[in-house]
Amino acid sequence: MDFLPLFHNLRGRLVLVVGGGDIALRKARLLTDAGARLRVVAPDITPPLHELLEQHEGEGLLQGYQAAQLDGVQLVIAATDDETLNAQVSRDAQARNLPVNAVDAPEHCTVIFPAIVDRSPLMIAISSGGHAPVLARLTRARIETLFPHTWGRLAQLAQRFRDKVKAAFPGINQRRVFWEDAFQGDIAERVFAGRDAEAEQLLIARLQEQKGQSYRGEVYLVGAGPGDPDLLTFRALRLMQQADVVLHDRLVPDTIIDLCRRDADRIYVGKARANHAVPQEQINQLLVRLAKEGKRVLRLKGGDPFIFGRGGEEIEELAANGIPFQVVPGITAANGCSAYAGIPLTHRDHAQSVRFVTGHLKDGSTNLPWQELVVPGQTVVFYMGLVGLPVICEQLIQHGRAPTTPIALIQQGTTSSQMVLTGTLASMPALVEQTEIKPPTLLIVGEVVSLRDKLKWFDTPEQG
């Protein structure tokens, strides 16, 4: 993060604008909209900027820039077409610890003017850190289409009732749930339709109905997919944004965790082979306890929670304790990794069925039904099979699979760090020893692996 987004209260505060042309005029208009008092310094000031200063009782100095003009100001804008002058203004401002913006020169800025979506009092700011302002403006244009101008009136309604809601619901979680329901239900629809008085009456009635009621917690069991945030479902993202607590696994990357609500508590409960940060039984009890405290709990799992994710064990405990829950499927690693590696799991010419198998059992062994895994016309996908790879290859060969059977090992599939190693059952153990492959990995065994050379599309390092 190059710049921390903040909103600056400039109402009644003095701002220095160095420059008197069109660029300065654009900045001055934004500043006066925010209630700032302007001091504009330039040898020449355009008539529109003069008019703006007169309308807002600003100060125009027809002279060159001098450091003394920084006296008493709260913000400095360098808006000339002279790069040397802009740099000097920036140095002088920073020497006084004043925030400064130099137009089109991010290296001289300590603050950035974002692209703004104004739904006052709701404000949305978009910034590229000064490096791609056109992209920021295009993003703003897209966001403008998502939020009607009536969103501002919805925020004003919340502003009028904030104290009453706070008095009715002393707990922050209860207030948050109340407002989320109000902003997404019939109250909001009345505001959008211009029927603000009806919206207020509904809000008052809802307050009376729910006042003093305790909020019942809930658990969201959500599949985060194999790693690429773009593969999340809409429902997963919505629940991630409203949960009060997030329990996440080792396989969920930071890029996905960062999409959760910023102020939600985050608890790491990751598990690696023979190294469980929190035992499964404790995770089950933690879900129950947090929900009974009235919290909305997000249980975020890599892949799909019902495919080698122990989701069934967790919701059994929730059901036994009467805790309401939702389950949101995710793209399991077999689907995501095979697709991004260009390996179809089924194909009319190569495989008419597919089987998902865990690479090690609950007791840590690889004692699998080998005879069933060598059936012709079948693709076999091994989850968590890296440690047991030599045994897997050996057993498949011993039970009748040809040593030349293609096999692929996929590391961190669907992400920019994806690495694919291809070989045969006979050659793969030696190939892995020559590389630095690390979990999470997935093994795909079958003739479909031979299609990768023709079908691969996701550009990542090639290893085999």
Binding-site residues, in ranges, read: 22-23, 43-44, 226, 302-304, 307, 332-333, 384, 413
Q: Which of 92, 249, 295, 301 is catalytic?
A: 249
Burial of 436 (0-12, 13-18, 19+ CB in 10 A): exposed
Distance CA 21, CA 39 (A): 14
Q: What is the distance of C-alpha 406 from the center of its chain?
A: 37
Is 292 catalytic? The answer is no
Which residue out of 271, 362, 454, 456 is catalytically annotated?
Answer: 271
Rounded to a whole number of angstroms, the distance between the first and last alpha carbons of the chain is 36
Rounded-to-integer distance, Cα 73 and Cα 75, Å: 6
Instruction: Tell me if residue 249 is catalytic.
Output: yes
What is the spatial distance between Cα 202 and Cα 195, in angstroms, rounded to a whole number? 11
Q: Residues annotated as binding site for NAD(+)?
A: 22-23, 43-44
Asked if 87 and 96 count as a contact pair (C-beta separation under 8 A), the reply is: no
Known binding-site residue numbers for S-adenosyl-L-methionine? 226, 302-304, 307, 332-333, 384, 413
Known catalytic residues?
249, 271
